[in-house]
Homo-oligomer: A and B are copies of this chain.
Amino acid sequence: MDTDEFRRCGTDMVNYVADYFDTLRSRPVMPYVQHGFLKKLIPEKAPHKAESYEDVKKDLEDVVLKGVLHWRSPHFHAFVPLASSFPALIADMLVGALSSMPITWSANPSGTELEVAMMDWLGQMLKLPEEFLFSSGGKGGGVIQMTADDSATVAIIAARARAVREHGDMTPGQTLDKLVAYTSAEAHTCIKKAAQLALVNIRLLPTDENFSLRGQTLAAAIKEDKNKGFIPFFLGASVGTTSTIAVDNLCELGKICEQENVWMHIDAAYAGSAAICPEFRYLINGVEYSTSFCLNPHKWLHVNLLCSAMWIKDRELITEPFNVDPVYLRNHNLNGDVKMPDYRHWTIQLSRPFTSLKLWFVLRMYGVQQLQERIRKDVKLAKQFEALVRNDHRFEIVAQVVLGVVCFKLKGKNNDVNEELLKRINDDRRIYLTPSTSKGVFYLRFCIAVYTTDSKDVSFAWNIVQEQTDVLLGLHVNGIDEKTKKIDKVDATECFQ
């Protein structure tokens, strides 16, 4: 394909993407397929001879879109938001075209320096303490990791390296057996997974009535573990747990971590972005006690995958254990006032895209104001849904609604009944919700996941919840659109949650 052909086909794909977004509301959010469906639709082997763009394109609807869950649909209310936006998609074209990797400064000076600048811009928007920013001239700075899992893994491995160094009287393995990390029972799996990868013990601590981890719980656990001869070294604190968007008490926890030489890493993957609004900045109060902090612009700041922003107070804590220095990656840094980082020492991966370009497009083309407005809009819509739930005596709200997620369940009904309700809602396929459990209680989660979701979509979703509740509880059968029952041969109830 030459550049002329790319102009033609690239433009066609731009229009296909635009058409996709224009028709999203009319597509069922969930596909009607069962396990193994795709095998019948494509050949068993790669073609020997090249096919045309048109050959591939004609399979898009019949193969790819046939089985896609539409994460960009305004009726998608699952998980937490996954960001994407037109400015980011446009920037992404350039990222792919340049394919210039900021692994060393020399390998992409603009990529390195734009990442430095964007991490400082974003840090300022969040009012992070100065010491996290490059502009302070101190030891801190930010880096774009792929995901919050990477950020957590990098943090726990760096914390482990520090602990091993501090216990030079023992072998690494002896230290490892004694190390203990903490997180709340409500934290995202990335913290637990990071501990598994680091091969360290981890304790999932209980939370208070708001699903928040409190200082006294941590203090008691540390005391108990120290008495047993363990070495507490890491806390994965959450600002916005995946289940209920609960916020741990960072100030209480941070003070204890400071006293006990425990590395506090804050995973604020989704909720952290809200802190760009003055009224939500309180959510990250206590960040000053943390050693590292992360939020994902690919969740709530309009940047598509993969973009997790991580800041650290002392960058040598991560660059030291991650440093490998072959001649084939050598890079001469100029001496002088400004010394730019070689980002390959900050990450698990050597290869890394020029992702700061996407942040640059997004921060400029939205401006702080529109990014704030989006967050406020989502929170307002969640409050709208909360009010609808509270207005229906059959339901209860499971957790405080602080941001864009509403956790709710049928009042006085057991887990099975609530699970059945969710199944019915999703089988209907016009909206998509995911569940969670906290303290043994199963509930439904309604998330404002996509920026195009509006007030009518919220009412639309609530109507479906009510319809399905009516059927489930056998109260009213009038008004239910019977077509939603006639799905197809697939026993869809088994496919989806």
Contacts and interface: CB of A to CB of B under 8 A. Distances in A.
Contacts of A324: 189, 192-193, 196
A135 B348 CA distance: 32
Q: How many copies does the complex hold?
A: 2
A174 interface: yes
Contacts of A364: 46-47, 50-51, 55-56
B96 A56 contact: no
Given A14-B7, A110-B64, A110-B65, A117 B47 contact: no
Interface residues of A, number: 164
Nearest to A9: B90
Contacts of A106: 69, 495-497
A368 B48 contact: yes
B56 A113 contact: no
Nearest to A145: B349
Nearest to A8: B14
Contact of A365 (B56, B120, B321): B56
A45 interface: yes
Interface string A117-155: 100111011000000000100000000001111100100
A51 B11 CA distance: 24
Contact of A437 (B98, B107, B243, B327): B327
A63 B39 CA distance: 47
B436 A326 contact: yes
A86 B495 contact: no
Contacts of A5: 86
A112 to B, nearest CB: 9
Interface string A1-19: 1011111011101111111
6 contacts: A9-B86, A10-B93, A17-B97, A50-B364, A51-B365, A174-B177
By Cβ-Cβ distance, the 4 closest A-B pairs, closest first, are A36-B338, A173-B177, A67-B110, A173-B173
